[in-house]
């Protein structure tokens, strides 16, 4: 089934649904007129209005219409995208974080960019020279590229330096280890104005949960392998970049390995933090508040990426009382990351959409995007990661160094069924961190359910 | 002419003769025509926007559909699967446990509040309390999520803080699989008490005072009067409120979803959360529909049973 | 009517003296018990709400305290101002009002008519239909959401309009059930008297029954207002244009800023969005309670 007919199939599938209810009343959306094109862009107008206005000057016959698809988490956004697909009114240009990249590509909804990139390589030479190959590789699926990275966040460690000072410690160096971390967690507990701080806190999700510990312990939740077939890109755009060596055409996660020894060890590590009172109870509905407690000097260390800069500013945390560092070494210092980017829906407006997406990679365009102004996320362009972008963060350089200086950093596991994967992962994690089941038993059970998941999606 | 001004304008006789209200048959016809006319807006709306989607959902229960591909007919496979699926069974039993706890607390508290406030019926104090109790009903899901997750947090929450002041150890409200169903039920009672209370207030206000006073004179006082006189008189309202609450709470979703997402593990996962996650996270719309169909049949059976049982305890004047 | 005429007799010397006691004063043990219970529930109810309000008046940095501070120290209105910067608050409130008021008026109409039919007008198949209506309450809304959205967008072409939020909400099984119960409790004698007077069936409905179910309609209005005002899942799926969002979606957008912003701003928006509902309730309550005093609900 080729990609174009796949979209027709979706339309047909939605038509079937409507037809069950009201036979004969189905009308598919008519094709857009050729001279004036409207592109529906999945973006929050607050962030994108300036970009859209600027594009009106670049391409007067194209109207870009922002479609706000906001949600607290990835599942909420996906719900909405699915509903719009079912109704036959999807966007022309979507946004996907790593969690959804393979879903849209794998279902044949997204346009592969290989042919167009090879057609006009010069147009994007400057862009790729400014973007780490680590980020680009995550947007591959089975040898084709589906997205051009816009922003990313790796899980680094934020430290409350006021508490660090109170404990008589210095900010840790880049090469600090898991054992150093444990010392910090201990030392930063029981401090602060009320003497009730916790050394470390984290919330239970796929990105930034306890997955970073799995990564630095040299493991992954699912087995990970590189697909071949990306040479066309690496040879064209990254011929001189040593960090591009050995990269392929995307990641694949052939089977679950939740209960391997390294993962059990990683889970035991975080469970011990809660059990010994260095980390607060891990509760789902509370997740958004934790960062606030960090700002209020009640938490010593907290996982976060460059996006946390904007938060801490908004939260009114005093400059000079916080800083960031790499995630500590264990077996490795491989960070886990998520990348966000636009993708193009197959459906007739690909040419116009491609023009927009290509234009949108320009540095001057990206500078117009609202969420880079207050640094609510980390830009994928190296040249945009500057001290000014991360005010009051002395170690601001580590955000981009996470991919430049630690090029083994890789994406969170995100196969086509990533939403269900996340649910299984977080559900079992809860049982272990509430100390109701041993890490080994928990991960054995998680593994069984992941195997079922794989069998169902085979 | 005076009767013209009151209710007698029917004498003008603008109705066609077959609808004339001067024969029993004419009245019957009037009622039938009026009944059908009155029902039309509701019926048309229900068919288009409620029954239509329900029929589709039920049909989907026999299909496999992930939105991306056309639905595929799989007969009873979904149903066969759900009866062997532990998670589904577990979510149904959680739903029943939490429904029972919540409805139990709701009805008892709401009746007690309605009877209590009735003692001060016309005072400003009653006005004040009625407003206060209803406030949580007016809050949206987001605010309840933010607030209650905060209150119940083991280490940072208010509840444990004040228990600590009283010398009680921290209770893992939302992270212990033994306690979580109670915590979520308490939160639900907090949010819904005003709703149920309003319904009972209507019932209590309408209690015939003559009968109550006569009973008091006859020596029925205190709990005896409550049990033998007041509650039986209130029974039609109790039926309505419990039927509505049971239907609503068997479709428990908001509070557990925002507070625990069904955790820890699966201990507060409800049937409708199962439907939601199966559809929107796992993209198995067909399977999700089959779970809804089973839930629907259960709710129908429970409601039917309540009405059947009500013949034995509901007292109509 | 011992409850309402709170006159109390006390013996003073040889003569009975009638004293007026304030109507809120407990007079006996049972009254005191009731009062204690009311106060206890009232405290439990209002504490979280006080926390919401006081946190919304604190600077983000001061929002997180254990133990919580129940009263804001210095009133900080910056959070409220920031709401207007982040979302088109006025527009979204306007949308919520339009959608909610249309829905309330529509539900009152459809439910009153249908409830009356199910209570007082008979035709063959009526009771079976009543069960069909009741049964629609029992299927999880989440299961029908996608088919409903497909119908709304493909059949009616209403996706991303405020009508897509109003039309599907007009028929109400709950309201029909509620008002049916109210109509049922009105003694048939009134109707018979009107018929003796020559009124036709519509006049009986309009002039005899309708005024008497006003309390039921008031309850439905309050509950419908509140349900629609706080509706989240439907607009989340149906709406795309920020300026057409109801305020619940606006708050959801804001909440995204909790991870990259501040909880006090979100709470400020919640307070502002809840205020209209509270005002509607406070004003509506007068009618509601007056109505309830006249007649109540029976099955």
Q: How far apart are CA A143 and CA A156, in angstroms?
A: 29
The Cα-based distances of B123 to A33, B106, B118, B207, B244 in angstroms read 68, 25, 10, 19, 30
* Residue ranges of chain A with per-residue pLDDT less than 70: 1-34, 70-75
Cis peptide bond N-terminal to A125, omega within 30: no
| Nearest Cα residue to A425 out of A190, A188, A206, A218 | A206
Contact list in A for residue C88 (CB cut-off 8 A) is none
Q: Cβ(A435)–Cβ(A275) under 8 Å? A: yes
Note whether A436 contacts B265, CB cutoff 8 Å.
yes
Report residue B257's pLDDT band, with 50, 70 and 90 as the boundaries.
confident
Q: Which positions in chain C touch B284 (Cβ < 8 Å)? A: none
Residue A17 vs residue B217, higher pLDDT? B217
**What stretch of H or E contains A441?**
helix A439-456
**What is the reported pTM?**
0.86
Partner B contacted by A454 (CB < 8 A): no
To the nearest whole Å, the CA of C254 is away from the closest chain B CA by: 11
Which residue out of B140, B282, B285, B289 would a mutagenesis test of the A interface target, given it has the greatest number of A Cβ atoms within 10 Å? Answer: B282
Q: Return the number of CB contacts < 8 Å for B and C.
A: 342
Answer yes or no: are the C-beta atoms of A413 and A220 closer than 8 Å. yes
Task: Compute the Cα dihedral for B60, B63, B67, B69 and give only its sign.
Answer: negative
Instruction: List the single residue in C with minimal CA-CA distance to A49.
Output: C242
Q: Are B149 and B258 in contact (CB under 8 A)?
A: yes
Instruction: Name chain C's partners: 3 or more CB pairs within 8 A.
Output: A, B
pLDDT single digits (tens) B37-71: 999 999 999 999 989 999 988 999 999 988 777 88
Average pLDDT over residues B200-217: 79
B180 closest CA partner among A442, A431, A209: A431
Q: Which of B67, B149, B265 sits opposite A431 (nearest CB)?
A: B265
Q: Helix H segments across A59-177?
A: 74-86, 98-106, 114-119, 121-129, 133-137, 161-166
Q: Which of B31, B56, B52 is nearest to B43 (CA)?
A: B52
CB C270 within 8 A of CB B141: no
- Put simply, the answer to whether C66 touches A67 (Cβ < 8 Å) is no
User: What pLDDT score does C7 carry?
Assistant: 47
Which of C154, C253, C262 shows the shortest C-beta gap to A70? C253
The answer to whether residues C243 and C295 touch, using CB atoms and an 8 Å cutoff, is no
Q: Which residue of C has its CA nearest to B288?
A: C143
Minimal Cα–Cα distance from B130 to chain A, Å?
A: 30
Q: Do the chains contact at A22 and B52, CB–CB below 8 Å?
A: yes
* Total Cβ atoms within 10 A of residue B187: 28
Interface membership of B55 toward A (CB under 8 Å): yes
pLDDT in the model for residue A60: 93
Q: What is the pLDDT of residue C297?
A: 43
Rg (alpha carbons) of chain B, rounded to whole number: 25
Neighbours of B213 (CB within 10 A): 12
**What's the confidence (pLDDT) of residue A253?**
96
Residue A4's pLDDT is what? 42
d(CA C180, CA C184): 6
Measured between CA atoms, the residue of chain B closest to residue C205 is B34
Predicted local confidence at residue C206, as pLDDT: 86
Spell out which residues of chain B touch residue A289, defining contact as CB-CB under 8 Å.
149-150, 153, 156
Query: Closest Cα to residue B267, out of B145, B91, B101, B102?
Result: B91
| CA A327/CA A212 separation, integer angstroms | 8
Token pair belonging to C130: 């009543």
CB contact under 8 A, A311 and C259: yes
Task: Give me the pLDDT at residue C8, please.
Answer: 47
Q: Which residues of A touch B261 (CB under 8 A)?
A: 284-285, 426
Helix (H) or strand (E) holding A150: strand A148-154
Residue C4 pLDDT: 39
Provide the terminal-to-terminal Cα distance of chain B, rounded to the nearest Å. Answer: 38
Mutation target to probe the C interface, by most C beta carbons within 10 A, among A40, A74, A89, A298 is A89
Chain C residues whose CB is inside 8 A of the A309 CB are: none
CA C185 to chain centre: 23
Say if the Cβ atoms of C297 and B57 lie within 8 Å: no
Query: What's the residue count for chain B?
Result: 317
* Closest Cα in chain B, distance from residue C140 (Å): 6
Q: Do C60 and A196 touch (CB under 8 A)?
A: no
Q: How far B41 CA sits from the closest chain C CA (Å)?
A: 6
How far is C164 from C98, CA to CA, in rounded Å?
12
Instruction: Tell whether C84 lies on the interface with A, counting CB pairs under 8 A.
Output: no
Q: What share of residues in chain B are helix, strand, coil (percent, to 5)?
A: 75, 0, 25
Asked if B265 lies within 8 A of A430 by C-beta distance, the reply is yes
Contacts of A10 in chain B (CB under 8 A): 67-69
**Closest Cβ–Cβ partner in A17, A307, A314 for C262:** A314
A240, with CB counted inside 10 A (0-12, 13-18, 19+), is: exposed
Give Cα A218 distance to the centre of its chain.
20
Spatial contact of A432 and A442, defined as CB atoms under 8 Å apart:
yes
Contact between chains at C117 and B34 (C-beta distance less than 8 A): yes
Q: What pLDDT, on a 0 to 100 scale, did the predictor assign at position B218?
A: 78
Residues of chain C falling short of pLDDT 70: 1-21, 66, 68, 256-262, 287-299
Task: Identify the closest residue of chain B to C70 by CA–CA distance.
Answer: B158
| Best B20, B39, B127 residue to mutate vs chain C (most C CBs within 10 Å) | B39
CA atoms within 13 A of residue B127's CA, in its CB half-sphere:
12
Tell me if chain B has a CB within 8 Å of the CB of A431: yes
Q: Residue A280: which H helix or E strand, with range?
A: none
Strand A225-226 and strand A336-344: the pairing is unpaired
For residue B280, which residues of chain A lie inside 8 Å, CB to CB? 75, 78-79, 82, 419
Nearest chain A residue (CA) to B49: A21
Is the Cβ of A36 closer than 8 Å to some Cβ of chain B? no
| Cα gap B314→B238, rounded to integer Å | 8
Give the model's pLDDT for residue C3: 39
C123 vs B35: CB contact, 8 Å cut-off?
yes
- Token pair for residue C90? 């006025």
Q: What is the pLDDT at residue A387?
A: 95
Predicted pLDDT at A10: 53
Sign for the CA dihedral angle at A299, A303, A306, A311 comes to negative
Given an 8 Å threshold on Cβ–Cβ distance, is B261 in contact with A107? no
Which pLDDT score is estimated for A16?
53
CB pair distance less than 8 Å for A315 and C61: yes
Contacting partners of chain B (3+ CB pairs under 8 A): A, C
pLDDT of C293 reads 54
Residue A301: Cβ-neighbour burial (10 angstroms; 0-12, 13-18, 19+) = buried
C-alpha to C-alpha distance for A311 and A309, rounded to whole angstroms: 5
Measure the CA–CA gap between B173 and A285, rounded to whole angstroms. 12
Closest CA to C203 of A347, B27, A387: B27
pLDDT value of position B213 = 78
Note the pLDDT of residue B285.
87
- Render pLDDT for C224-279 as a digit per residue (tens, 0 to 9): 887 888 888 888 888 888 888 998 888 877 776 555 456 788 888 889 988 888 88
- Token pair of B131 as six digits: 């407003």
CB contact under 8 A, B203 and C298: yes
| Cross-chain Cβ contact A427/B265 below 8 Å | yes
Inter-residue contact A433 to A240 (CB < 8 Å) = no
**C-beta of residue B169 within 8 angstroms of C-beta of residue B256:** no
Across the interface, whether the CB atoms of B206 and C123 are under 8 A apart is answered no
Distance CA B168, CA A389 (A): 48
**B176 and A434 in contact by Cβ < 8 A?**
yes
Whether chain A has a CB inside 8 Å of the CB on B56: the answer is: yes
Which of chain A's residues have a Cβ under 8 Å away from the Cβ of C87? 46
Which chain A residues touch C262 with a CB distance below 8 Å? 292, 314-316
Alpha-carbon distance B272 to nearest alpha carbon in chain A (angstroms):
16
């Amino acid at each position: 089934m080729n990609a174009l007919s796949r979209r027709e199939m979706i339309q047909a599938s939605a038509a079937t649904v409507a037809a069950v209810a009201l036979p004969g009343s189905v009308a598919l959306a008519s094709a857009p007129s050729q001279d004036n094109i409207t592109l529906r862009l999945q973006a929050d107008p607050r962030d994108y209005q300036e970009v859209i206005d600027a594009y009106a000057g670049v391409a007067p016959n194209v109207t870009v219409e922002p479609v706000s698809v906001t949600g607290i988490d990835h599942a909420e956004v996906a719900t909405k995208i699915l509903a719009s697909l079912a109704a036959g009114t999807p966007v022309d240009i979507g946004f996907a974080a790593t969690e959804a990249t393979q879903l849209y590509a794998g279902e044949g909804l997204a346009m592969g960019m290989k042919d167009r990139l090879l057609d006009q390589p010069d147009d994007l030479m400057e862009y790729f020279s400014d973007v780490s190959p680590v980020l680009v590789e995550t947007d591959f699926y089975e040898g084709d590229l589906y997205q051009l990275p816009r922003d990313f966040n790796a899980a680094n460690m934020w430290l409350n330096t006021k508490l660090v000072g109170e404990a008589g410690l210095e900010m840790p160096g880049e090469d600090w280890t898991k054992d150093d971390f444990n010392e910090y967690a201990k030392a930063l507990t029981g401090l602060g104005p009320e003497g009730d701080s916790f050394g470390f806190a984290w919330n239970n999700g796929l990105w930034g949960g306890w997955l970073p510990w799995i990564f630095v312990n040299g493991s992954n939740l699912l087995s990970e392998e590189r697909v071949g077939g990306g040479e066309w890109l690496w040879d064209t755009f990254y011929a001189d970049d040593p960090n591009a060596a050995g990269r392929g055409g995307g990641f694949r996660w052939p089977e679950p390995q939740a209960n391997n020894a390294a993962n059990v060890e990683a889970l035991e590590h975080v469970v011990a933090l809660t059990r010994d009172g260095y980390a607060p109870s891990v509760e789902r509905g509370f997740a958004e508040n934790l960062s606030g407690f960090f700002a209020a000097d009640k938490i010593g260390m907290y996982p976060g990426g460059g996006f946390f800069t904007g938060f801490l500013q908004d939260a009114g945390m005093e400059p000079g009382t916080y800083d960031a560092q790499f995630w500590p070494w264990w077996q490795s210092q491989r960070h886990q990351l998520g990348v966000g980017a636009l993708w193009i829906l197959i459906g007739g407006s690909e040419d116009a959409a491609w023009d927009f997406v290509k234009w949108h990679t320009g540095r001057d365009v990206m500078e117009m995007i609202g969420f880079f102004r207050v640094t609510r996320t980390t830009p994928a362009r190296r040249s945009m990661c500057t001290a000014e972008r991360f005010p009051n963060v002395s170690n601001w350089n580590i955000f981009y160094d996470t991919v430049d200086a630690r090029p083994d950093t890789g994406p969170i596991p995100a196969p086509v069924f990533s939403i269900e994967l996340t649910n299984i992962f977080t559900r079992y994690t809860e049982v272990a961190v509430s100390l109701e089941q041993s890490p080994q038993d928990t991960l054995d059970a998680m593994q069984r359910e992941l195997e079922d998941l794989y069998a169902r999606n085979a | 002419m005076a009767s013209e001004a009151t209710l007698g304008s029917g004498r003008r006789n603008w109705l066609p003769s077959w609808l004339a209200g001067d024969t029993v048959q004419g009245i019957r016809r009037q009622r039938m025509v009026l009944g059908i006319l009155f029902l039309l807006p509701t019926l048309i709306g229900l068919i288009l926007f409620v029954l239509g989607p329900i029929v589709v959902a039920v049909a989907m229960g026999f299909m496999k559909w992930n939105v991306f591909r056309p639905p595929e007919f799989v007969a009873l496979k979904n149903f066969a699967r759900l009866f062997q699926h532990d998670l589904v069974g577990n979510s149904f039993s959680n739903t029943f446990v939490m429904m029972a706890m919540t409805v139990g607390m709701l009805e008892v508290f709401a009746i007690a509040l309605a009877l209590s406030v009735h003692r001060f019926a016309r005072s400003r104090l009653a006005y004040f309390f009625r407003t206060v109790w209803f406030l949580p009903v007016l809050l949206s899901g987001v605010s309840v999520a933010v607030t209650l997750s905060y209150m119940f947090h083991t280490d940072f929450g208010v509840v444990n803080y004040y228990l600590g002041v009283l010398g009680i150890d921290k209770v893992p409200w939302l992270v212990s699989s033994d306690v979580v169903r109670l915590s979520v039920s308490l939160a639900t009672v907090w949010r819904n008490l005003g709703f149920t209370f309003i319904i009972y207030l209507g019932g209590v206000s309408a209690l015939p005072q003559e009968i109550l006073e006569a009973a008091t004179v006859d020596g029925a006082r205190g709990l005896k009067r409550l049990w033998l006189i007041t509650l039986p008189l209130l029974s039609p309202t109790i039926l309505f409120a419990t039927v509505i609450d049971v239907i609503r709470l068997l479709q428990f979703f908001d509070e557990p979803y925002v507070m625990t997402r069904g955790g820890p593990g699966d201990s507060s996962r409800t049937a409708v959360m199962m439907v939601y996650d199966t559809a929107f996270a796992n993209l198995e719309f067909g399977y999700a529909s089959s779970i809804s169909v089973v839930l629907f049949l259960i709710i129908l059976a429970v409601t039917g049973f309540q009405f059947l049982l009500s013949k034995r305890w509901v007292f109509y004047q | 009517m011992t409850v309402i005429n709170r006159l109390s007799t006390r013996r003073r010397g040889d003569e009975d003296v009638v004293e007026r006691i304030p109507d809120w004063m407990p007079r006996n043990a049972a009254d005191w018990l009731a009062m204690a219970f009311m106060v206890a529930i009232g405290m439990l109810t209002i504490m979280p709400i006080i926390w919401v309000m006081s946190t919304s008046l604190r600077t983000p940095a001061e929002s997180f305290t254990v133990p919580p501070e129940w009263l804001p120290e210095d009133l900080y209105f910056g959070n409220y101002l920031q709401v207007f910067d982040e979302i088109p608050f006025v527009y979204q409130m306007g949308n919520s009002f339009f959608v909610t008021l249309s829905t309330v008026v529509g539900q009152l109409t459809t439910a009153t008519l249908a409830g009356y039919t199910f209570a007082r007008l008979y035709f063959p198949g009526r009771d079976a239909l009543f069960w069909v209506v009741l049964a629609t309450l029992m299927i999880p809304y989440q299961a029908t959401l996608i088919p409903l959205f497909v119908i709304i967008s493909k059949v009616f072409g209403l996706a991303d309009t405020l009508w897509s939020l109003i039309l599907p909400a007009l028929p109400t099984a709950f309201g029909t059930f509620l008002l049916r119960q109210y109509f049922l409790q009105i003694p048939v004698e009134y109707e018979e008297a009107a018929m003796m007077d020559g009124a036709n069936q519509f006049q009986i409905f309009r002039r005899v029954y309708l005024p008497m179910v006003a309390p039921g309609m008031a309850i439905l209005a309050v509950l419908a207002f509140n349900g629609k005002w706080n509706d989240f899942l439907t607009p989340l799926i149906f709406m795309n244009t920020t300026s057409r969002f109801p305020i619940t979606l606006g708050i959801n957008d804001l909440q995204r800023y909790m991870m990259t912003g501040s909880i006090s701003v979100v709470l400020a928006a919640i307070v502002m969005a809840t205020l209209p509902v509270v005002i509607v309730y406070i004003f509506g309550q007068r009618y509601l309670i007056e109505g309830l005093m006249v007649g109540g609900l029976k099955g």
